[in-house]
Structure 1
Amino acid sequence: MSSEGQSILMLIAAGEFSLGILGNAFIGLVNCVDWIKHKKIASIDLILTSLAISRISLLCIILLDCYILVLYPDVYTGGKQMRIIDYFWTLTNHLSVWFATCLSIFYFLRIANFFHPFFLWMKWRIDSAIPRILLGCLVFSVFISLPVINNLDDDFRHCVMMKLKTNLSRRCRVHKAQHASIKIRLNLLTLLPFSVSLISFLLLILSLCRHTRRMQLRAPGSRDPSTEAHVSAMKAVISFLLLFIAYYLAYLVATSSYFMPETELAVIVGELIALICPSSHSLFLILENKKLRQASLRVGLLLFFT
């Protein structure tokens, strides 16, 4: 890849990274200030803060990997750095997806209107269970990411150094295939929380339809706060689902790059797409959360008049 192309791609990556850091840092800062001010934190704010922290970490890992690959490719020859990058990318990726799923479940339990005993029990217990659920997601993500470290042996690192050669040996192709398959299988586990978020979205639609029919019988043409809450929650969940699909496709592109002659270009393109998910979703969350939206307006007015 030409130096001009590398510079352009790096600038785009830096722009996406900056946008994501600002959005997620804003979410975390607003909720932390509110936590200190009121000496307690609401469940929704705890989820949003945990999600913001995981995505800031994910953004840093993706950008770091992108810059090392382009500017200092020899860093990966030692293997230790590659192990660290791969482990923390897998870890923060799982954390981000699981925390976003917790957010989808919380929206569903708080907003949906069902009268099944199990649903009512979960609705009643969700606030007290959120800290334990988030901690469980962290522990699960830490352990599920460990196979990535064990899969990087000396033979594989030697094959990485041959990534620009088209006539790779059969042994290198086998090692690359094994490493890629491990990473893909580990990230296929994120389809479980994705499925839970999808089910939550579909149940929100069902709840909204039932609520709309009841409201039409009582007051045709009116939109009550419950309807607005349903629509707002559905926007937040569907934005996560769509961005997750884009992120996962980008991850597959980056992983499959082990078998391409122009590895750096494929990885960078994949990582540019991957940066969109944690960067853009934070903006959706700010716009759909009343407290965050009002805080952003205050900051905007303050910057405008200074």
Structure 2
Amino acid sequence: MLSALQLIRAVMLIVTWPCGTILNSSIIAVYLSDWKKGVKLGECDQISVSMGCTNLLLQCFITLGVAFLSYGLHLPFAGQVSAAIGAVFWFSIYLSFWLTAGLSVCYCLRLVNPLPKYFIQLKRRLSRIVTPLLLWSVAISFIMSVPMYGIVGMATDQNTTTNYYSMISNVIDVYKIFGGAFGMGLPTLITSVCILLSLISLLRHIRRMKQKPQFGSPQLKNLIGACRTMFLLMALNSFSFLIIFSSVLSPFNVETIWETVVFSCFMLNPSCEAIVLISGNSKLLRTWLKSLAPQG
């Protein structure tokens, strides 16, 4: 017989898994369709489709992880499965932060005018730095997550001595500090700088439009959309960080209301990010509106 909290989590799993999968798969499908037609993807589009893939991966493993933690902890290999799920989960979280930073940099370089001098050279090379940026994001996220959960798997070994277990715990604490600093803190700082520069440029455009009402309206619209997208993505990442931080501080107990709230927030995150990406991209939004509009 399922408890009330287990029933709530089951309903959340049933609702969020298809929603997140459909939303993020649609982002990937739109750009994949363009690629098949020979349309070259822009820098922001490349990062957006990478975010769709990351959120799709995150949705799958959050669903698997919540289902396992809720109903499968009694299995003999629970420790190893939990470590593997944890590694993929943290990899996806760190990668989400870095991709948000990368998308913010692209928006900033393309839309902000005038740019500080040290950003001009970067803007000229934007098309050449997107692929290295994506690869570095994956590499940093991997280094910050996968080795740590390999160490966690070692720490769950019953044959480890007290001194060895203490040493492993210290290594894990160091990884957590570096993960928070380089996996979340640094990309959040980069995103914040991009938002600040975009807002300054937006205010300049508004002042110009007051003097010349017909000046720069398309760029103003793009700037407003970019600022909104960057701010909402950063807000979602920051909220995820606060939930993660608070859950780490409190003792883990799967049969509590707080853990159910934490699981629900994690399960909703990929869908929310997909909605932000779709609403902030005219191509994705048009595709969704066409699919939802009645055919006549």
TM-score by length of 1: 0.84
CA contact (8 A) 1:95 1:138 kept: yes
What is the match of residue 125 of structure 2?
A: 125
Q: Hey, what does 1:231 align to over in structure 2?
A: 224
Task: From the superposition, tell whether residues 36 and 293 of structure 1 become closer, same or farther in structure 2 (CA, over 3 Å).
Answer: same
2:113 partner SS: coil
- Which residue identity does 1:17 align to in structure 2? W
- CA contact 2:144–2:175 (8 Å) conserved in 1: no
Q: How far apart, CA to CA, are the structure 2 residues paired with 1:63 and 1:31?
A: 25
TM-superposed CA distance for 1:287, in Å, is 1.4
Where 1:75 maps in the other structure, the secondary structure is: coil
Deviations along 1:11-32, whole A, 9 cap, x unmatched?
1233223222211111111001
Aligned partner of 1:276 in structure 2 is 268
* Residue of structure 1 in register with 2:87 after alignment: 87
Q: What secondary structure does 1:152 align onto?
A: helix
180, 186, 203: which is aligned to 1:187? Answer: 180
1:52-90 per-position Cα deviation (integer Å, ceiling 9, x unaligned): 101111111111110001111123745321221111111
**SS of residue matched to 1:151:** helix
CA distance in 2, matches of 1:13, 1:180: 30
Which residue number in structure 1 is paired with residue 208 of structure 2? 214
How large is the Cα RMSD of the aligned pairs?
2.9
- Identity between Structure 1 and Structure 2 (%): 22
Aligned to 2:37: 37
In 2, Cα distance between equivalents of 1:281 and 1:238: 12
Matched, 1:113 2:113: yes
Change (3 A) 1:15 1:71: same
- Hey, what's the Cα distance between the residues in 2 that align with 1:104 and 1:125? 16
Letter of the structure 2 residue corresponding to residue 194 of structure 1: T
Per the alignment, residue 54 of structure 1 pairs with 54
One-letter amino acid of the counterpart of residue 45, structure 1: D
Q: Is the 8 A contact 1:254 1:271 kept in 2?
A: no
Structure 2 contact 109–115 (Cα < 8 Å) conserved: no
Distance 1:87 1:57 in 2: 12
Q: CA deviation at 1:213?
A: 1.9
CA distance in 2, matches of 1:76, 1:194: 39
Return closer, same or farther for 1:78/1:175 CA change in 2, 3 Å cut-off: farther
* Aligned-partner residue type, residue 79 of structure 1: G
Output one character per residue of 1:168-192: Cα deviation in whole Å (capped at 9) or x when no partner: xx99x97997697456422343111
Aligned residues: 289
SS of aligned partner of 1:48: helix
Give yes or no for contact 2:114–2:201 (8 Å, CA) kept in 1.
yes
Q: Specify the code of the residue in structure 2 equivalent to 1:46.
A: Q
Question: d(CA) in 1 for partners of 2:210 and 2:243?
Answer: 43
Whole-Å separation in 2 of the counterparts to 1:62 and 1:179: 25
CA contact (8 A) 1:156 1:176 kept: no
Stretches of structure 1 that go unaligned for 5 or more consecutive residues are 159-169
Judged with a 3 Å threshold, the aligned counterparts in structure 2 of structure 1 residues 178 and 65 are, in CA distance, closer, same or farther, namely farther
Does the CA-based 8 Å contact 2:229-2:277 persist in structure 1? yes
Q: Does 1:296 align with 2:279?
A: no
Q: Does 1:246 align with 2:239?
A: yes
Q: Please give the alpha-carbon distance, in whole angstroms, between the structure 1 residues aligned to 2:112 and 2:286.
A: 25
Deviates more, 1:211-220 or 1:133-142: 211-220
- The Cα shift of 1:269 comes to 2.3
Range 75-84 or range 10-19, more displaced: 75-84
The answer on whether the counterparts of 2:23 and 2:271 sit within 8 Å (CA) in structure 1 is: yes
Equivalence map 1:160-199=2 (5 Å) = 181=173, 184-185=176-177, 186-189=179-182, 190-199=184-193
Q: Which amino acid aligns with 1:242?
A: A
1:82-127 alpha-carbon deviations (Å, 9 max, x no partner): 2211111111111111111111111111111014332222121112
Match of 2:23 in 1: 23
Note if contact 1:91-1:145 (Cα within 8 Å) is conserved in structure 2.
yes
Superposed counterparts of 1:122-161, under 5 Å: 122-153=122-153, 156=156
| Contact 1:43 1:127 survives alignment (8 Å) | yes
Normalised by the length of structure 2, the TM-score is 0.87
